[in-house]
């Protein structure tokens, strides 16, 4: 199974501040929706709770250490490995959709990174991991908005 990570980071690699994403950028969420539509989203319990519901037309797999955790119309997994097995069974394009802990856990398994850089310096306490050298840039698209942003796709080198 192929695994992708999808994230938006500021120029200083911030992805979150407490439970929140510290910017509002027109168009950026539509890009997330377009890329992930029809897929399976693996996310940490904190990210799930900050969204508050499963996103439509996608399967949601919540990673939590709490064996009693349940959420309506979602799957739960007690490790990244279990989440990946669950996703394999769902047979859909699979994306890790955050947050910081989950990106760090998933990066060693990732084939593709969909990484949007919001061209601002944001204040926050949750970061995207440093990009390892073994990923190569395969596409780059710039967008003008209330804050400009650049969407880049990286693939793992063979
Ligand atoms: N900018 C973006 O693209 C983006 C995308 C998504 C989220 N975010 C932001 O990221 C922040 C949340 O990230 P976060 O790092 O605080 O939390 P997170 O990664 O969303 O979730 C952390 C939780 O995942 C579970 N977990 C972590 N490691 C685990 C493991 N090895 N095995 C089983 N469960 C494990 C634990 O849940 P339990 O405590 O239940 O055990 C842990 O508390 C928020 O600010 C959110 O807005 C940003």
pTM for this prediction: 0.98
- Alpha helices in the chain, H assignment, sequence order: 28-36, 45-51, 80-90, 100-106
Task: Provide CATH code, domain 3-156.
Answer: 3.40.430.10
Domain coordinates in residue numbering, the chain: 3-156
Q: What is the pLDDT of residues 23-77, one digit of tens each?
A: 999 999 999 999 999 999 999 999 999 999 999 999 999 999 999 999 999 999 9
| pLDDT tens for each residue of 134-155 | 999 999 999 999 999 999 999 9
Ligand 1 atom with the smallest distance to the CA of 116 is 3
- Ligand 1, CB within 6 Å, residue ranges: 7-8, 15-16, 19-21, 43-47, 50, 63-66, 78-79, 97-102, 105, 126
Query: In DSSP terms, which residues pair with 149 in a beta bridge?
Result: 118, 143
As a whole number of angstroms, the distance between CA 67 and CA 77 comes to 8
């Amino acid at each position: 199974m192929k695994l992708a990570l999808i994230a938006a980071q500021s120029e200083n690699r911030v992805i979150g501040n407490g439970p929140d994403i510290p910017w509002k950028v027109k168009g950026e969420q539509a890009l997330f929706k377009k890329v992930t539509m029809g897929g399976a989203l693996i996310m940490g319990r904190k990210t799930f709770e900050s969204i508050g519901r499963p996103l439509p037309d996608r399967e949601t797999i919540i990673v939590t250490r709490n064996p009693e955790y349940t959420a309506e119309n979602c799957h739960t997994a007690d490790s990244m490995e279990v989440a990946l097995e669950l996703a394999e069974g769902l047979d859909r394009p699979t994306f890790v959709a955050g947050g910081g802990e989950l990106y760090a856990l998933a990066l060693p398994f990732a084939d593709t990174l969909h990484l949007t850089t919001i061209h601002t310096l944001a204040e926050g306490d949750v970061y995207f991991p440093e990009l390892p050298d073994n990923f190569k840039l395969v596409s780059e698209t710039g967008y003008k908005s209330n804050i400009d942003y650049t969407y880049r796709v990286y693939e793992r080198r063979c």
